[in-house]
Amino acid sequence: MPDRDPHISDDDLGALAALADGHLAPDRADALRARFATEPVLAAEFDRQRRAIDLVRNAVAEVEAPMALRERIETQRTKAPAAKVRGPRRWLLPAGIASALGATFAALLIAFGAGGAPSVADTLNAASAPAAIGVSVDRDTPQLLTLDRDGVPFPNFLAKFGWEATGARTDEIDGRQTTTVFYEKDGQEVAYTIVGGDALEVPDGDATTIDDKTFTVLEEDGRTVVTWERGGHTCVLSAEGVPADELLELAGWKGKGAVPF
């Protein structure tokens, strides 16, 4: 990962680290997130901090590495110096340590054979992470949002289904760029991810055909997941507590031809 942007102040860097680690006070967190839409450099740094923290946690909790190696990673993480933030003192992960541990985790992936193209299941990490950038509706084609991944645009579900696009994020998963848009309705949230590059391998699940398009439905980590292809790219729609039939209706919606398939 590259070094932090020099235009970000130490105070903002500390606040971003606290936000990524889940320890920033709610009022400060809301104020900081509100700046992401107009200050993309902050959104990018927050995303970098969050990914680094996730990498370390996953390395310790999930990678089947020798115990001594796992203990060494955990020691590095817990002994990292705290970033300065207003309010109670908390142990945070500074950018330099995050980069070093991110590299350590990448080495672990290579050593223990966890590389290769991502799977549909891998994309669900982004679905459970917070939004980092704002979204808007395409004025010329209101069935679409202005956001896309590799030219494949995201649909606007609000007028037809009542699901409002509330935010988005970009991630890199096993070398693939992904974009995820979050939609909310009645206190529930749906995540819609489009994966850059060639379509991923179709996972095992229940296949459903709608208008000659095949959709695969499965359960993964407590989420109902629908995956299919649009424009040669894998799309993944997932949610907790939303029926598969409703997700399929969203996935298959073409907006009277405005949503390209």
Domains of the chain (ranges; CATH) run 10-111 (no CATH), 121-257 (3.30.200.100)
Count CB neighbours of 48 within 10 A.
Answer: 21
DSSP track, 63-98: ----HHHHHHHHHHHHTSPPPP-SSS------HHHH
Dist CA 222 CA 116 (whole Å)? 25
Give the model confidence (pLDDT) of 69-126 as tens digits: 555 555 554 444 443 333 332 333 444 444 444 444 443 333 333 345 678 888 888 8
Average pLDDT, the chain: 79
SS3 206: strand
Q: Which tokens is 80 given?
A: 């990292």
Q: Which residues contact 221 (CB under 8 A, 6 or more apart)?
A: 121, 124
Q: Which tokens is 215 given?
A: 């959709």
Alpha carbon of residue 236 to chain centroid: 12
What spatial distance separates the first Cα and last Cα of the chain, rounded to whole Å?
A: 34
Query: What is the per-residue pLDDT for 3?
Result: 53
Min mean pLDDT across 58-62, 103-107, 205-209 is at: 103-107
CA dihedral 251, 255, 257, 260 (to 10 degrees): -40
Query: What is the per-residue pLDDT for 241?
Result: 95
Min mean pLDDT across 114-123, 193-202, 250-259 is at: 114-123
